[in-house]
């Protein structure tokens, strides 16, 4: 097995795409479902020991895997991922020096190509969107020998092609693998043969080739079944204990031609697999046994979002009565759930005294794993799995804390900018494959123009990346996309600077909206849109200043001032009852406070009203996509820490912890994706793995955990944990680019050590104890609950501070 080398995407390290100039894009006509297998014998020009270096560059229309003598060249799957293929098709590169040097002089280089996103029939409402009808491969192997000679083997019509054991593959529908068509299986089953195919040159635009920016998609954890049992209808169900994204790897032995069918679902309903939320995604894999021993199946040309699998056709049955031996393997070992996502570096940890909050945070991490597969998606299971821009606009800050998401989101932002240039505004889905939809009749929904929050992703995602990583080159790369967004919305503003015309998704999935009208929120769409646009323009002004675009900085500052003035004039009022924002609901106060639309004392008055509204609803959540990431911030930063904690810790529906009480292992799309009676929400749009409402994790890391970036990229850290009622201790860590930052705090009964109490000598009933660890040389300001501020640099530091009486 070879080591793999990802092309480093730093702008100054351009991979040599020239190598592919000698390659021909090859395709073949086969059944639309079948994967292609392409093969070429490679005879080394010199003895293998003379190989100094060797690398393979490749990409595909479709998804592909490369093999040398049948061994995978790399652990990557679903390459080349999904980009806006009209303009960017990512090239992967692997170092195969060892594999060639340590082998024979005659090798077989082969590839399998499946439909992937290219010929995916993707999109909700049966859009059947495809980029093209031909799938195929472009690849080149370059071997450099010790004497400097080179040998290049690249794709061309001199390769051979055939069908393979993958007889059907589709991201939504699943995959069929027939082991009778492989090696020994084929010998034993002469009636089942792969079909030779004629290779031909396919249509291919080399101008679209770009080095891969995002980390490759790879397998990660493997989960064993936690339970296997019979459902009321007699189906065999397997529970993996975690809602995850990937597939099953199955090892099984049985008579030739036996068909095992695996259906996947995130939840159970009435004791059976709950597949209704999958809509038109069959999410079903079929494995056909060879009859020649143990067959291993792994459907790597599809993926599913699931916790449960229904397995039918297992030879001898797969149920608790039969749980020891299946062929040569115990059942528990015969089935594994394989977790698949882009190989980003995990960066966070969190635990606290409330186990439900711990689970909520873990669910936000699992939400990112499942939805950072090729592009940041809304959800990974139903007939959607699209790059909905609003979802990542809400979640980007959380994502950038949990993983080093810089390259993954940078790649996606490059597509956002290209799609924006094409559409004239930031589309609500990137890559915007709905352009390629093939509906039977006219599209079942109207075309949507620029949308607040969704289109603001062009600014908010770069803003989150800037804050987390402090990379000015990347900010510069994202700046033109930001400008394109602002310029597309500016003409839509009213004379007084409001974004108040046109349909808005706005505070999507407000829990008070009717289930079939998720846009019908309490928050006035103009308030949400104008506030969101103000946030974008204000950050663009800051970015322009940082990048030295002084004229732009002045332009955006002036636009920001106009939008802000409009917002204040039309949407904010002060009367006998106090400060009011139009539509008077939690979301509008959260946005006005957090986006900088209020002055001085107004913040406190708005937060007071917000706290009143929150209390009036018994600390149940009342916000949707727009307000949810900000409501706890608006409270905790303006005198209502208790209300923020009560909101976080509420367990009744709707709340963040309600799904946890129902056993959720990922963040749900709806506050009540599952109703208290355990039935699935009747809305046709109900997923159990949507990260957007998990954006509260950002507040948990920064406010409960207390790790904040005082300067972008944590070059200076603000350590300011804010304890509140219901949580007695918390431990948080962040592997930032500057190094590891850790906080651990606990509340102790009694009085802090006299010398260390910072309360001016008054006794206090409880003590806040904080341990902080910082990377060497990184300065931090530590702010304690008693308001004192301490400047420290690097190393470990401990603090004690009195806490006010909880009463
Ligand atoms: C998606 C959402 C998305 C929304 C916007 C839904 O179908 O799953 O997460 O943002 O549509 O319309």
Note the pLDDT tens digit of each residue in 216-230.
999 999 999 998 999
Which segments of 424-495 does DSSP mark as H helices, in order? Answer: 457-469, 472-489
Per-residue pLDDT band for 446 (boundaries 50, 70, 90) equals: confident
Smallest CA separation from ligand 1 atom 11, residue: 388
pLDDT average, residue stretch 782-799: 97
* Nearest residue to 586 (alpha-carbon basis) of 620, 537, 535: 620
Kindly report which listed range (175-184, 243-252, 316-325, 583-592) carries the lowest average pLDDT score: 316-325
pLDDT value of position 402: 98
Instruction: Judge whether 266 counts as a catalytic residue.
Output: no
CB-based pocket (< 6 A), ligand 1: 378-379, 384, 388, 390-391, 505, 508, 685, 690
Share of the chain above pLDDT 70, in %: 94
Compute, in angstroms, the gap from residue 393 CA to the centroid of ligand 1: 12
The residue written with tokens 């846009």 in the block is 519
How do residues 267-301 score in pLDDT, each as one tens digit?
Answer: 999 999 999 999 999 999 999 999 999 999 999 99
pLDDT at 756 over 60: no
- Top-confidence residue, 329 or 573: 573
pLDDT value of position 676: 94
Alpha-carbon Rg for the chain in angstroms: 28
pLDDT at 129 over 80: yes
pLDDT average, residue stretch 100-120: 96
pLDDT average, residue stretch 335-341: 97
* Nearest residue to 332 (alpha-carbon basis) of 320, 342, 343: 320
DSSP codes, 185-241: HHHH-TT--PPEE-EEE----GGGEEE--SPPEEEEEEE--SEEEE-TTS-EEEEEE
Active-site residue, selected from the candidate residues 37, 65, 310, 669: 669
pLDDT value of position 805: 65
C-alpha 126/C-alpha 173 separation (Å) is: 12
pLDDT at 498 over 70: yes
Per-residue pLDDT band for 515 (boundaries 50, 70, 90) equals: confident
pLDDT at 368 over 90: yes
Active-site residue, selected from the candidate residues 65, 384, 419, 650: 384
pTM score, whole prediction: 0.95
* Nearest residue to 465 (alpha-carbon basis) of 398, 420, 510: 398
* Nearest residue to 692 (alpha-carbon basis) of 529, 458, 429, 508: 508
pLDDT at 753 over 90: no
Smallest CA separation from ligand 1 atom 7, residue: 685
The residue written with tokens 């020998």 in the block is 145
**572 to each of 509, 526, 527, 533, 593, how far by Cα in Å?**
24, 12, 10, 16, 11
pLDDT value of position 186: 75
Compute, in angstroms, the gap from residue 194 CA to the centroid of ligand 1: 41
C-alpha 389/C-alpha 394 separation (Å) is: 9
pLDDT value of position 759: 44
In degrees rounded to 5, what are phi and psi of residue 604? -65, -40
To test the ligand 1 pocket, which listed residue (385, 389, 390, 625) has its Cβ within 8 A of the most ligand atoms? 390
pLDDT value of position 757: 39
Compute, in angstroms, the gap from residue 505 CA to the centroid of ligand 1: 9
Is 711 in contact with 467 (CB distance < 8 Å)? Answer: no
- Top-confidence residue, 357 or 803: 357
pLDDT value of position 12: 36
pLDDT value of position 15: 64
To test the ligand 1 pocket, which listed residue (125, 127, 388) has its Cβ within 8 A of the most ligand atoms? 388
C-alpha 579/C-alpha 612 separation (Å) is: 12
Query: Over the chain, what is the mean pLDDT?
Result: 93
pLDDT at 415 over 60: yes
Smallest CA separation from ligand 1 atom 12, residue: 505
In degrees rounded to 5, what are phi and psi of residue 533? -70, -35
pLDDT value of position 779: 98
685 CA: nearest ligand 1 atom: 7
pLDDT average, residue stretch 698-708: 98
pLDDT value of position 5: 38
How do residues 450-494 score in pLDDT, each as one tens digit?
Answer: 999 999 999 999 999 999 999 999 999 999 999 999 999 999 999
pLDDT value of position 286: 98
Kindly report which listed range (304-318, 539-553, 633-647) carries the lowest average pLDDT score: 304-318
pLDDT value of position 320: 56
Instruction: Judge whether 384 counts as a catalytic residue.
Output: yes
Q: Which residues does residue 53 pair with via DSSP β-bridges, in sequence order?
A: 144
How do residues 179-209 score in pLDDT, each as one tens digit?
Answer: 999 987 777 778 888 999 999 999 999 999 9
Compute, in angstroms, the gap from residue 162 CA to the centroid of ligand 1: 40
Compute, in angstroms, the gap from residue 282 CA to the centroid of ligand 1: 20
The residue written with tokens 């084929």 in the block is 186
């Amino acid at each position: 097995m070879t080591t793999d080398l990802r092309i480093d995407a730093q702008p100054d390290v351009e991979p040599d795409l020239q190598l592919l100039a000698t390659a021909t894009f090859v395709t073949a006509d086969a059944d639309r479902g079948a994967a292609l297998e392409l093969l070429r014998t490679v005879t080394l020009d010199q003895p293998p020991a003379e190989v100094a270096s060797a690398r393979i560059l490749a990409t595909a229309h479709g998804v592909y895997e490369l093999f040398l003598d049948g061994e995978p060249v790399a652990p990557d799957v679903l390459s080349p991922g999904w980009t806006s293929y009209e303009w960017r098709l990512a090239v992967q590169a692997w170092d195969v020096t060892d594999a060639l040097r340590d082998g024979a002089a005659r090798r077989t280089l082969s590839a399998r190509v499946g439909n992937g996103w290219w010929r995916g029939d993707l999109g909700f409402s049966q859009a059947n969107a495809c980029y093209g009808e031909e799938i195929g491969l472009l690849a080149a192997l370059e071997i450099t020998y010790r004497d400097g000679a080179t040998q290049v083997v690249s794709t061309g019509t001199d390769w051979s092609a055939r069908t393979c054991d993958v007889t059907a593959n589709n991201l939504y529908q699943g995959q069929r693998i027939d082991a009778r068509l492989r090696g020994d299986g084929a010998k034993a089953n002469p009636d089942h043969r792969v079909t030779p195919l004629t290779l031909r040159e396919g249509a291919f635009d080399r101008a679209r080739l770009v080095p891969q920016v995002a980390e490759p998609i790879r397998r990660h954890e493997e989960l064993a079944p936690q339970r296997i049992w019979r459902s009321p209808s007699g189906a065999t169900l397997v529970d993996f204990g975690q809602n995850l994204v990937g597939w099953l790897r199955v090892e099984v032995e049985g008579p030739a031609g036996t068909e095992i069918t695996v259906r996947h679902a995130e939840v159970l309903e009435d004791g059976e697999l709950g597949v209704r939320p999958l809509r038109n995604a069959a999410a079903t894999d079929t494995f056909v046994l060879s009859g020649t021993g143990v067959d291993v199946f792994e459907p790597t040309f599809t993926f599913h979002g699931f916790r449960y699998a229904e397995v039918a056709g297992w030879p001898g049955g797969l149920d608790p009565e039969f749980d020891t031996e299946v062929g040569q393997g115990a059942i528990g070992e015969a089935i594994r759930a394989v977790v698949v996502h882009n190989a980003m570096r995990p960066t966070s940890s969190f635990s606290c005294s409330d186990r439900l909050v711990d689970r909520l945070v873990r669910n936000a991490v699992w939400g990112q794993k499942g939805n950072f597969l090729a592009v940041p998606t809304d959800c990974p299971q139903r007939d959607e799995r699209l790059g909905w821009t609003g979802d990542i606009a809400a979640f980007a800050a959380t994502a950038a804390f949990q993983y080093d998401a810089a390259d993954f989101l940078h790649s996606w932002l490059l597509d956002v900018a290209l799609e924006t240039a094409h559409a004239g505004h930031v589309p609500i889905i990137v890559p915007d494959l709905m352009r390629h939809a093939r509906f039977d009749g006219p599209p079942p929904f109207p075309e949507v123009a620029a949308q607040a929050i969704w289109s603001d992703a062009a600014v908010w995602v770069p803003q989150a990346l800037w804050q987390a990583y402090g990379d000015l080159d990347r900010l510069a790369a994202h700046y033109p996309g930001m400008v394109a967004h602002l310029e597309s919305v500016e003409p839509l503003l009213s004379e007084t600077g409001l974004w108040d015309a046109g349909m808005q998704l706005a505070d999507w999935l407000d829990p008070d909206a009717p289930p079939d009208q998720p846009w019908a929120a309490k928050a006035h769409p103009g308030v949400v849109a104008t506030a969101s646009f103000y946030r974008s323009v204000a950050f663009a002004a800051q970015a322009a200043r940082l990048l030295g675009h002084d004229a732009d900085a002045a332009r955006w500052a002036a636009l920001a001032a106009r939008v802000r003035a409009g917002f204040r004039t039309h949407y904010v009022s002060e009367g006998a009852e106090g400060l009011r924002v139009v539509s008077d609901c939690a979301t509008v106060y959260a946005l006005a406070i957090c986006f900088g639309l209020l002055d001085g004392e107004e913040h406190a008055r708005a937060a007071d009203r917000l706290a009143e509204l929150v209390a009036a609803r018994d600390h149940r959540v009342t916000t949707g996509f727009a307000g949810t990431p900000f409501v706890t911030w608006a409270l905790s930063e303006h005198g209502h820490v208790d209300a923020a904690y009560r909101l976080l810790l509420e367990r009744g529906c709707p709340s963040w912890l309600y799904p946890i009480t129902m056993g959720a292992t990922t963040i749900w799309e709806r506050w009540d994706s599952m109703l208290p009676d355990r039935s699935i929400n009747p809305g046709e749009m109900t997923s159990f793995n949507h990260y957007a409402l998990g954006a509260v994790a950002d507040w948990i890391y920064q406010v409960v955990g207390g790790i904040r970036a005082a300067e972008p990229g944590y070059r200076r850290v603000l350590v300011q944990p804010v304890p509140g009622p219901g949580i007695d201790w918390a431990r948080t860590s962040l592997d930032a680019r500057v190094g590891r930052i850790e906080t651990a705090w606990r509340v102790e009964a009694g009085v802090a050590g006299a010398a260390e109490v910072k309360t001016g000598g008054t006794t206090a009933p409880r003590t806040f104890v904080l341990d902080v660890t910082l990377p060497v040389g990184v300065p931090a300001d530590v702010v304690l609950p008693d308001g004192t501020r301490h400047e420290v640099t690097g190393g470990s530091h401990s603090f004690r501070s009195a806490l006010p009486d909880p009463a």
